[in-house]
Each structure stands twice: as structure tokens, then as C-alpha cells.
Amino acid sequence: MKILELSLNGFRNYEAFNCAFDPGVNLIVGQNAQGKTNLLEAICYLSRGSAFRTRKEAELIRFGAEFADLSARVESYGREQSLRAVLFAARRPRQLFLSGVKKPSREELDGVLNTVLFCPEDLLVLKKGAAERRKLLDDALCQLRPKYAKALEEYKRLLAQKAAALRDRTDRPEMLELIPDYNERMAQTGAILITTRAKYLRQLEERAAAHHEAFSGGSEALSLSYQTVSTVTDPTAPALEVYARLKDHQQSHYRAEVESMQCLSGPHKDDFEAALNGLPMKAFASQGQTRTAAISLKLAERDLFEADTGELPVLLLDDVLSELDPGRQDFVLNRIQSGQVFITCCEQDKVTHIGKTIRIEQGRLL
Ligand code: ATP
Ligand code: MG
């Protein structure tokens, strides 16, 4: 997938902007607050129908403007298509178009332009709590596997119901009678979550480790290990076996759940540990190492997307070069050879030798 050309009118700090892109690397250079991230945000909006920095559409419209008009010519599955979104400042629903035809729902634009985004917050994935890492797996799998998305939705619903039953058990002890039914269905859907996550993480590790090795000049080995419910010793076993192990865990934790009034059993606490040369990254990785691994994970996610859909998503890298040494910067700028990449950076002297350098000042192309 490739973006051939992008036009923006009244989007964020862009009054009127048009630019054709390189099919390889596009390096977007500019000082702070000139509109580099805004440009990635526009691409993301056309790709996903939502922005990554805000949920409020009004914030995307240029101050004082009545509407924002974003459009792109893209190459997708060998065909040239166009995507367009018009957002209105007044209380009027946005309009979406695919190759000139108005589409009533965002889903109809799904898959025309897939993007994988790295933004500085993604560094938290490797440094912060388990929720961020679970989200990384869930987001990717929900896009790739409809069956997984359904199981996750059902699991979350059951978890909320079970949590409510445990919480209310002093006032309404009869609620506890519902727990066996919740447990049964949570073990069934939980087994789907665990086996799918385990397999995906294994594939992700294989690709991410290869990228990280090249990125670090061969000096660092990245490994990812899945952590789930303690009784599930082999999360890649058939779902039926994982289901049985989940039932064991539920049984042995039932008392504790009732006493603590909390759900203690199930894959809602899942996590994975990232390590470099065997050392857990959370405790020992440097800033540059964390950044390298986070970008390698994105490159791997993109590979797996390609393996599944047959097309390589466009890679959007926001502010990736800071904290990287010259060798690692060179990897980002000149050695990501596959597919189309957008990289933003503030350093004026940076150029890419395998693509196009685009300079931005106050929402204008220089
Ligand atoms: P940095 O290098 O600091 O990350 P950047 O080039 O990525 O900077 P952006 O985040 O793309 O900067 O742009 C930020 C600028 O866009 C801010 O100065 C902000 O005021 C302006 N901006 C954001 N939304 C709007 C809007 N709706 N209308 C006009 N300007 C806006
Ligand atoms: Mg920025």
C-alpha cells in the first residue's frame, strides 16, 4: 500500500497543502510545532477514520475554518483509489468518500489504506504496566482475526458481570449463583484469547528479533515471553486443553475471589516480558534500546499484517530519531527498504538517501 499524494484544506495548522510522496521513505523535517505530526494524523485519519491524538473531531479543523477536507490518492492491491474525508465545524456528520463515492460507514473504507503508527507514547509499552502490552496484542489481533475480536468482546462483558456479582455479594448473596455460568463461558472464550495471543506473540518475536538485531548492528537479541494464567503451562496447546487448565485455575481460586471480591482468574491479567540479551527491558533497557525495540515491534507488526493481507501497511514513525545513535538513525533513514515509510524529525540536517526529504514550516511545504 502506498500514498501517492495527499491534499489538506483546513486540517489542523494546514490551510492548503498538497504533496506527492515517494513510494519508499518520506522524511518530514521541520522545527517544533510546524505540523509534522499533524501530517501523520491526517494520514491516520484517512486510514482509520479516527485521529490518534484526539477523539474530538472539532479539534482537527483549522481554527476559524468551517470545515476540514482531507484527501489522498493511494495505491492499494494494485489499484489506484482515492480516500476523502470532510469534517464540519457545525454539528453536521462528517462525510467519507471512496474513489468519489460517498460511503455511509467507516467500515466500508477499512483495508483500503492500512497504517502502522509509532508515536512516542508507544515507548511506554515496554516500560509501563501490563495493560499497554495487552493492548498491543489485542489491537493487532482484533484487526487480523474477527473471531478473536468477538471472543475478546464477550470475555470483557463476562468479566464485568462477574466482577459486579463478586462486588455485590454482601448485599445480594444470590448473585454468587451466577458465577459457575460466568466461569464456564470465561474459560471457553479465555482459551481462544490465550491460544491466539501465544501464537501471535511467537510470530511477532521472530520478526521483531530479526529487525532489532539488524537495527542494533547485531549486538542485541530481543526476546518476548508470554505470561498468562499459571496453570496454563503450554499456551500454544489446543484450545480445549487450555480451557481445562483455566477451569482448574478458577476452581482453586474461587474462595480467594469471593473473599477479595475480585476476579483473580483468567487472561485479563496477561502480559509479556521483553528482554534484551536475556535482561528484562523494563528494569534494564536504556532509552535508545527501548526505542529500538519499540520500533522493531512495529516493523514486525507490519510484516505480520502483510503475511495476512498480502499488502504491506504504510509505516508512520513520529519522532523516532531522537535518542538514537548515528548507526541506529541510519537504519531508520536508509535501511527500511520495504514498503512506504513516513518519518518525522526536527533535526534540520537529516536526509534520507533512499527516498524524499519533505520540509514543513507553519503548515506549508518549503
Ligand atoms: P514537534 O516537533 O514539536 O512534535 P510538530 O511539527 O509535530 O512539532 P504538530 O503537532 O504537527 O507539530 O503541530 C502542532 C501545531 O499545530 C501547534 O502549534 C498547534 O497549535 C497547531 N494546531 C493544532 N491543531 C490546530 C487547529 N485545529 N488549528 C490550527 N492550528 C492547530
Ligand atoms: Mg510532532
> pLDDT band at 206, cuts 50/70/90?
very high
Number of domains in the chain: 2
Residue 74 is predicted with a pLDDT of 98
Q: Which domain holds residue 267?
A: 128-292
Query: What's the CA angle centered on 219, arms 213 and 220, to 5 degrees?
Result: 60
Would 38 be classed as within a structural domain? yes
- Co-location of 142 and 287 in the same domain: yes
Would 98 be classed as within a structural domain? yes
- Co-location of 98 and 186 in the same domain: no
Would 2 be classed as within a structural domain? yes
* Cβ 34 under 6 angstroms from ligand 1: yes
- Co-location of 152 and 46 in the same domain: no
- Co-location of 16 and 133 in the same domain: no
Domain boundary among 274, 292, 310: 292
Residue 263 has φ and ψ, to the nearest 5°, of: -80, 115
Beta strands in 24-93 (DSSP E): 25-29, 67-76, 79-88
pLDDT, tens digit, for every residue of 180-189?
999 999 999 9
- Co-location of 91 and 135 in the same domain: no
CA of 318 to the centre of ligand 2 (A): 7
- Is residue 12 over pLDDT 90? yes
Mean pLDDT of the chain: 96
- Co-location of 107 and 164 in the same domain: no
Please name which ligand lies nearest the alpha carbon of 363. Answer: 1
pTM, entire model? 0.93
Domain boundary among 263, 292, 321: 292
- Is residue 298 over pLDDT 90? yes
Would 300 be classed as within a structural domain? no
Query: Residue 169 belongs to a domain with what CATH number?
Result: 1.20.1050.90
Q: Do residues 86 and 68 touch, judged by C-beta distance below 8 A?
A: yes
- Is residue 337 over pLDDT 90? no
Average pLDDT over residues 19-48: 97
Give how far Cα 122 sits from Cα of 104, 181, 194, 299, 346, Å: 32, 37, 23, 13, 19
User: Of all protein residues, whose CA lies closest to atom 4 belonging to ligand 1?
Assistant: 32
* Cβ 366 under 6 angstroms from ligand 1: no
- Is residue 86 over pLDDT 90? yes
Q: Do residues 303 and 103 touch, judged by C-beta distance below 8 A?
A: no
- Is residue 91 over pLDDT 90? no
Would 6 be classed as within a structural domain? yes
> pLDDT band at 117, cuts 50/70/90?
very high
* Cβ 62 under 6 angstroms from ligand 1: yes
- Co-location of 133 and 229 in the same domain: yes
Question: What percent of the chain shows pLDDT beyond 90?
Answer: 95
- Co-location of 172 and 221 in the same domain: yes
> pLDDT band at 143, cuts 50/70/90?
confident
Residue 19 is predicted with a pLDDT of 98
Average pLDDT over residues 112-140: 93
Assign 198 to helix, strand or coil. Answer: helix
* Cβ 358 under 6 angstroms from ligand 1: no
Residue 93 is predicted with a pLDDT of 95
